[in-house]
Every structure is written in structure tokens, then in C-alpha cells.
A and B are shown apart, each in its own frame.
Chain A
């Protein structure tokens, strides 16, 4: 029974976070700790749906080595262009911005797999010994510009329709507009960028000397 329960829990957790199945790999390359994030992140049903919606999806990467008090951030913006059926990617890492146009989702996945995220140079880790690297990838489904646009559209959609021929509402058109603005602002600010999915891993940093 215990085994069955464990298997069931395993199945459920696999369904909710498929990214956990494949773990990132950390390696020392040219005296730099580099990490490869598995492309299963992109295959998550929710992530894949928003990737194909045409919204600008932002992947926020956070690499932390608590023992060395080290924290690095990077971001990747992806927007699917349905007219051309291409993926426009924009990568901001190590202070550099790189943009690419990828011909298909498969091409994007392949491109993703080539990415090596630089976490740190060796010196701060020398004395760290066997340290843990904590990786967090948050998937934000739309950009700030799209958020503003959606709020504006939603505010207009829920406004009380006004007929130019009808008499002004009680309190005058100014009061009506203020009330609409206030209620619109209150409701539409509920539309907010927040992570759709968050993947977390903890990997052991391999010993540099052994390499």
C-alpha cells in the first residue's frame, strides 16, 4: 500500500512539475561554473501553451550558491510570431543582450539546449568545498507592455456603455467618468504579471580540482 501511495504521489508530482524529472547540470568550463537548464521546462503544458499564444514570455533565471553568498540573474524573453511562425528570443545574461529569430518550436528547443548559463568564476568557490547551487526558473507569461494593454482594454470593456443621445448620469458626466475610472482601476489592477510556473532545482557543484 505504501508503495502504491508513493507511486501515486510520484505520478502526481510528475504531472504538476515535469521539469523536475530532468535536472540541470552544472559544469566547470574554462574556470567558470556553467549550468545547462533542461529543455523539459519548455515542454510543460502550461508553458508551451503561453509560448504559442503570441504573448511575450519571460524566463527569469536565478542562480544562488548560499554558502558562497553568490547570486546571479538572467532573463530570456520569447515571443512567438504567428504570422511568420517564428520565435523571437532576446537573452540578457552577463550584462549582454542577444537576439535571435528561430524558425520553429523545435528550433527554439534546440537553441535552448545550447544555452550555458554562467553562474560564477572559480575563485569565490575555492574554499566553498562541496557547495549546493540553487536554481530557480520563473515563467512570466506576458510583458509589462502587454499587461498595460490588457488592463486598458479590460477597463474599457467593463465601462458602462454611454450613449451620446442619452441624458447624463446622476452627478454629471465627470462624476460618472471618475467612478468608472476608479472601479476600472480597482478591478483591472488585479491583472498582474506573476509567474505562471516556477521550477526549482538544487544541484551539487562538482569539485573543480577533480575536473
Chain B
């Protein structure tokens, strides 16, 4: 605590003390005026005189009058002593009250200065965290739990550091996905050219076999047809590569997530046989900035994964929207068998799948996450067990978008 602050505190203490003393003097001198009013003594003098006179007039009641006389006389003497010491008693009273005030004020000042010292120490600690934040450190825990100004600043540092960490993770994920996208694009390109040529040659071969009409024509036709089927499967895979490589930037628009999910459930309600889409729209609306086509694609991917996991057994995908802190959350939970434990560590990486070869390349969740990251949000696995799996789509609330 600086000497300047101590000096100011002491100055305030002295000023408050003097002011108190001044105003107290105005009050305390008055209450002492009550018992020392001259009229009290005058009345007592009358009583004393009356009792003495009455005793003479009623000699048989002299003792009674004498007793009253003595009582009045005693009170008269006491009041006289009080009158004689009026100034001293008033001063003493002022001194006591002032001492109490000064004691309390001194205690408050000491507590204030101690508080200042503690706040200085806390600020110095926060300075270290601020330097760490400036150095790019994420997920800082200051350990501040108080709700005062410094506590709130500490909270802001923690929040900012969390945002820094979040952005860094998002950037890392996006870079990671971008490298996978680049690889997919190159692979698709490298495969597509010879694939097209091979398909054209195979189709020409099929025409030649059909027109030559030889004895082994049927056998050749079957072989060529088989080659064409394999090439078609290869094209589908290539298309999947291409779609991953071509995930573009979202075309943002203001929309109500509640309406989007409602429409999705109506449109795709019977798209996955055996799987029911359930959504109870809340009363309030949930405005977000999003690309509706992309979000629909994410929901389709999640539903497709759930339907594949259900593997024909009846089930349901339930949607729920709620607000948490500065985000809008859309939970998509199925009642499927859950995700295999070995996949969980790389769940959102491309080609992470437990499906058999030829049943999918495991790009759906990677694409979906990239879409949400491009929305400044995230796609998270909330829970998975044998009772089902829940994903959470996180959307930031647009500025001024709170209801």
C-alpha cells in the first residue's frame, strides 16, 4: 500500500473525526440542558418551602412533610451538583462518544488499508496471469473466487484464456481437417482421371463384345459388367472424397434454430426406416447465425450414423434446444448401441469408422465438425453408452441475439 493512500486514509479519518466532534458538540450540550433547567430547581424550591409551611400548619403530619421535604431537598442538592459539573459531564460524554467513533473509524481505516494491501497482492498475482495470457497461454486458472472487482477481472482473464484455448483448438482442428481435405482432393483428382478413362474403355469393350457376338460373348459381357460395377463403386468413393474436399464456407443468415429443426423433422421424418425423429419445440425462439443447408447436412450425417448403428432395429433420434452461457445448444440423442470405445479418441478425425470396408469411409463426423467449427461453434460428443449416444451442436449467440 502506497504512503499516499495511507496519508489519504488518515486525512479522511482526521477530517471525519473533527466533523463528528463538531456536530456532536451541537447535540450533546442540549441533552444536559434538560436536567439542569432552572425551572426544575425552582419547582423543587417551591416544594421544599411548601412542605415546611405545611409542617407548621399540620404539626401532626410533620414527620410526613419532613420526609417529603428531605426527598425534595436531596434531589435539589443533586441537581445543583449536576449543574455545577454540567460542562465537565458534557465534555466527558463527548469524549466517550468521540473515542468510540474514533475507535470504530480507526478499525475501519485499518481494515480498509489491510484490504488495499491484500488487493495490491491480488493485482500483482493477476499481473502474472495477464502476462501469461499475453504470451498465449490458454485455460488459465487464477484461483480467484471472490465476486469483487478484482475477482471479476480474474474471471475475465480466465474466460479470455478459455476463449484463446478454444480458438487455438478450433484452429488446430481446422488445419488438421484442411490437410485431410487437401489429401482427399489430390487422391480424388488422381483417381478420377484414370477412373474415367478406364470406365470409358470398359464401356467401349462392352459395346465391342455385344457387337462381335462370339461364342464367349456372354462370359465377356459378364466380366465387363463386373468391371463396370467395381468402377462405379470406385466412383462413389471418389465422390465421397470430393465432397469432403469441397466442404465450403457457410453462407450465414439469421435463422431460428427451433424452426430449422422442426422443418428437418417434418422433411426427413421418414427418411430412415425404423428410426423416428422426435422434437418438442420450446416456446421461445433460438436465433443463430448459420448456413441452414450445412446444418441440415450435419443433422443428416448424425441421423445416418444413428440409423446405421441401429441396424434395422426400431429407435429414435431426439432433438432438444437450450441456452447455456453465451451459446445455443442443440442436443441430438439416439437410443442406439453407442460408439465403440476404440474409436472415441479419434471420433472426429476423417476415416475413423468401425464399419466394414465398402460401407462408408468415416467422413461424416469430420465434415460435420468442420461445418460447426466454421460456424464459430463446435460439435461435441456429449455421452455414449449402450443406452445411446448424444451429440451436441454448439452455436454462438449472435450479438444482440439474446431474447
Contacts and interface: CB of A to CB of B under 8 A. Distances in A.
Given A83-B69, A192-B88, A54 B82 contact: no
Interface string B165-205: 00000000000000000000000000000000000000000
Interface in B33-56: 35, 48, 52
B119 interface: no
A192 B69 CA distance: 26
A114 to B, nearest CB: 29
Contacts of B48: 82
A141 B92 contact: no
A146 B81 contact: yes
Interface in B83-106: 84-85, 88-89, 91-93, 96
A53 B77 contact: yes
A104 interface: no
Contact of A54 (B35, B66, B77): B77
B71 to A, nearest CB: 12
B89 A150 contact: no
Given A82-B48, A146-B77, A141 B84 contact: yes
Nearest to B93: A187
B88 A53 contact: no
Given A82-B48, A190-B89, A55 B96 contact: no
B32 to A, nearest CB: 11
A18 B360 CA distance: 125
B81 A186 contact: no
Interface residues of B, number: 21
A105 interface: no
A53 B80 contact: yes
B76 A54 contact: yes
A201 interface: no
Given A83-B52, A83-B66, A191-B88, A53 B78 contact: no
Contacts of A141: 80-81, 84
Interface in A158-178: none
Contacts of B74: 149
A187 B66 contact: no
B96 A142 contact: no
A190 B66 contact: no
A147 interface: yes
A154 interface: yes
B240 to A, nearest CB: 80
Contacts of A196: 84
29 contacts: A53-B77, A53-B80, A54-B73, A55-B77, A55-B80, A55-B81, A82-B69, A82-B73, A83-B73, A141-B80, A141-B81, A146-B77, A149-B78, A150-B77, A150-B78, A150-B81, A153-B78, A154-B78, A183-B96, A186-B92, A187-B92, A187-B93, A189-B92, A190-B85, A190-B89, A190-B91, A190-B93, A191-B88, A192-B88
The 9 A-B pairs of least Cβ separation, nearest first, read: A190-B92, A150-B81, A190-B88, A190-B89, A191-B85, A53-B80, A150-B78, A153-B78, A54-B77
Interface of B: 35, 48, 52, 66, 69, 73-74, 76-78, 80-82, 84-85, 88-89, 91-93, 96
